[in-house]
Structure 1
Amino acid sequence: MKTRMRAVALVCLLLALLGVFPASVLPLPGSVAGDARARAGQLEELQEELERTRRLIEEKQAEFERLQSQERSVTGELARIGRELDILQGELTDLESRIARTEESIAETAVEIADAQARLDARTDLMLRRVRALAEVGYVHYLEVLLGSRSFADFLGRFEFLRQILAADVELFDQINEEKRQLEQKKAYLEEQRSELVALRAETSARKAAIAQRKRASERILNDIRRSKEATAQALDELEEMSERLARLIVEIQRARQQSGEIPLFAWPLDGRIVITSGFGMRYHPILREWRPHHGIDLAAPMGTPVKASAAGTVILASWAGGYGRCIIIDHGGYASTLYAHLSGFRVSINDFVAQGAVIGYVGSTGYSTGPHLHFEIRLHGEPKDPLDFLPPR
């Protein structure tokens, strides 16, 4: 907010300098209003504000991209959670079906147990009636039956008959006990299976509830991210709008200064550390091998390094220029111009108006050159001047 307010104040100040606002609206001391160097200082402050705004734009763009990445991540997580919930819901549906089938089996087994119990009761009743009948006619001892045999064959027949009666009684009791045991075992198994299914259903329901809670938390995070993203996008739009306004105003001011004939405040045409490999004045030419005047300074830089306009102005040359190789000349109005030589390529064309600091080309080694570097000249009334007399200290 402070940066934005400072930028707005600077815009108003520079508009006043351009005559957009009357002096009564934004009063300035007469010495400042009429002092070109003071206006240049204000322009430099505006350019610094533009640079700060552009850095803020880069920060907001990085923040916006980070939020976009987070949004994609959380959206993907929500999709995975949705698939997990679908799977668990399918498992719960299957468990409900299995529990229902098991309960049906338990109910059917209960009916079978009741039926078996009825048959057991009937058989028990039959045995009791047989016992009562025997009691009524008197107890016949097995030995008497055997001793009453008329022959050995009759003895064997009676013995087998008695054995079969005893075996039938034993078998009847065994069948009753076995059937009862199997039915009770089946019922116990089904009830155990139902308990396991019910426990599994409870566990699956708990997992589903936990995942649903994760989903709600992720949805809240996603909503927060989207709100932050929207706010960042709005701030980014405002910063970009401010940047465009500042850039337009700077170009207008620089154009006005160019038309006024003032000597501009020059800036270094390369960013970063400056290494001067050859200064202004007489020197021994490395290619022609003779002493000749050097009309500018040579700045060491890697091939392809961006070259920037030292001051605002109009491009009057962007072509091959003999020993200069690919060369650009910018007219800064009045009687000042700058020259950039040995370039590898151009970013501007003739008659383009360029703002101070705009990239106009790239370092190369064209023309009379022994390696990648920038040859830079400042001329007043066409006469070469030592650039170090006009450039700020580095």
Structure 2
Amino acid sequence: MAKRKGLLALLLTTVLLAGSVIPLQAGELEDAINKQKELQKKEEQARSQLNKLTYTADKLQGQIKDLATQISVAKNTLDSTQVAYNQAAEAVSLSEQELEEREEELANRQIVLRQRVREIYEAGQVSYLEIIFEAEDLSDFITRLEYFNRLVTNDQKILTDISIERAKIEEETKLLQVRRDEAAQLKVAAEQAKATLDGKKREHQVALNSNKKAQEDIFEQIERMEADSNDIADKIRKLTANSDVVHGTISTYPLPGYKEVSSSYGWRIHPITKKKSLHTGTDLPAPTGTKVLAAGNGEVIMASWYGAYGNAVIVDHGGGYTTLYGHNSKLAVKVGDKVKAGDVVSYVGSTGWSTGPHLHFEVRLKGETTDPLQFFR
């Protein structure tokens, strides 16, 4: 009797423990799924912010490129105005030098003329008789007097010619000075325009650098969230690894006719974050809308937005095996659906963290990633 009571107590305890394990596991799975959803929301918010920053960065880069073109044009304009100013300044300098030479020549001629007139005047006032007496005859006297008069007349003509030439050069110098001053104004305007553009480019570059720093901060946040998300995903897979799904082999290639691999399983530089990270699956490029097939028999345990994976489907094949199909444009199944190998589960897209339409295909064993293509060799 005592033995029966002991056996009954042991059986009751076992039943109670078994009953408590199932709710515990179910509650733990529910908590993990809820945490996953919270992380997905945060990732989406971060990605939305990142998209805005990326748009702003692209816009700033375009503006910087335009400013660089404008600066190049402004520099050419400045160079041209500098050349024009230098030429005008040199022309003014030469003209002023020529004018100075003409004024000096005129002054010298005036001195010579005054001296000669003075000498003739003095000769006329003082020694006309000397000219008469020195002359051999009247004809010689007239010749001597006419010579002096012609000399004075010639000097006066030279003086007039020099005065006219000086006035002409002076006028040309004034015109050249006007052109030089205009060239100087254009040069100053070109310098100011280039300085303004240089300032704008510096401001845009500072804004772009700040933008890139903000992007890097968000990348770090997303990487942390993605790591947390992957940990939770592993936990979900492990919790469902001992499901009662009939174990089916993974033998059906999910994208018949599309064998190209754009990114293999393993470590790589992430195309978006530009950081080294483990690529947990294989990327298979295909046109948007291409049918994605279940790799084996199983049950759909997730069919929704899945953070960086975008629209994703996870199928539990039993025996610890799960497959994931990510970045889909549309889903063809829902949670709880039973699928057979070759059934359509989704359609290729470029949702989530994606740089183009493709299928991200994963195979995990008890939550641990493995190379998906090994099942199709």
Q: Please, what TM-score do these two structures have when normalized by structure 1?
A: 0.53
Correspondence for 1:76 = 72
1:121 matches 2:112: no
Distance 2:126 2:63 in 1: 91
Cα 1:57–1:344 change in 2 (3 A) is: farther
Instruction: Tell me which of 103, 111, 124 is aligned to 2:108.
Output: 111
Count of residues in Structure 1 that have an aligned counterpart in Structure 2: 261
Correspondence for 2:317 = 382
Aligned amino acid, residue 173 of structure 2: L
Sequence identity, in percent?
A: 8
Task: Check whether the contact 2:71–2:197 (CA below 8 A) recurs between aligned residues.
Answer: no
User: Over aligned residue pairs, what C-alpha RMSD do you find?
Assistant: 4.3
Distance 1:134 1:348 in 2: 121
Unaligned runs of 5+ in 1: 1-30, 138-157, 264-315, 328-338, 365-371
Task: Check whether the contact 2:106–2:159 (CA below 8 A) recurs between aligned residues.
Answer: yes
How far has the Cα of 1:226 moved from its partner?
0.3
Correspondence for 1:347 = 262
Correspondence for 1:65 = 61
Distance 1:33 1:375 in 2: 27
Task: Check whether the contact 1:116–1:179 (CA below 8 A) recurs between aligned residues.
Answer: yes
Distance 1:132 1:340 in 2: 135
1:182 matches 2:176: no
Name the SS of the counterpart of 2:259 in structure 1: strand
Distance 1:226 1:134 in 2: 89
Task: Check whether the contact 2:258–2:285 (CA below 8 A) recurs between aligned residues.
Answer: yes
Distance 1:349 1:108 in 2: 92
Name which of structure 1's ranges 163-172 and 225-234 shifts more when overlaid on structure 2. 163-172
Distance 1:134 1:350 in 2: 126
Distance 1:32 1:199 in 2: 94
Correspondence for 1:56 = 52
Distance 2:183 2:40 in 1: 64
How far has the Cα of 1:125 moved from its partner?
3.8
Name the SS of the counterpart of 1:344 in structure 2: coil
Cα 1:94–1:200 change in 2 (3 A) is: closer
How far has the Cα of 1:103 moved from its partner?
0.8
How far has the Cα of 1:63 moved from its partner?
2.8
Task: Check whether the contact 1:32–1:38 (CA below 8 A) recurs between aligned residues.
Answer: no
1:360 matches 2:275: no
Aligned amino acid, residue 162 of structure 2: K
Task: Check whether the contact 1:106–1:191 (CA below 8 A) recurs between aligned residues.
Answer: no
Correspondence for 1:147 = none
Unaligned runs of 5+ in 2: 1-26, 241-248, 268-277, 300-315, 324-330, 335-344, 350-377
Distance 2:72 2:175 in 1: 32
How far has the Cα of 1:109 moved from its partner?
2.1
Larger radius of gyration: 1
Distance 2:107 2:29 in 1: 107
Name the SS of the counterpart of 1:389 in structure 2: coil
Distance 1:190 1:134 in 2: 38
Name the SS of the counterpart of 1:205 in structure 2: helix
Aligned amino acid, residue 190 of structure 1: R
Matches within 5 A, 1:118-267: 118-129=115-126, 166=142, 169-170=145-146, 172-261=148-237
Instruction: Tell me which of 78, 85, 89 is aligned to 1:92.
Output: 89
Distance 1:54 1:134 in 2: 112
Name the SS of the counterpart of 2:257 in structure 1: strand
Distance 1:346 1:373 in 2: 16
Q: Please, what TM-score do these two structures have when normalized by structure 2?
A: 0.55
Distance 1:181 1:246 in 2: 96
Cα 1:258–1:126 change in 2 (3 A) is: same
Aligned amino acid, residue 107 of structure 1: E
Task: Check whether the contact 1:340–1:374 (CA below 8 A) recurs between aligned residues.
Answer: yes
Q: Deviations over 1:178-229 (max 9, x none)?
A: 3202212212312330342243124313321331233134213312320221
Q: Deviations over 1:120-164 (max 9, x none)?
A: 3322443455667899x9xxxxxxxxxxxxxxxxxxxx9xx7666
Distance 1:219 1:133 in 2: 81
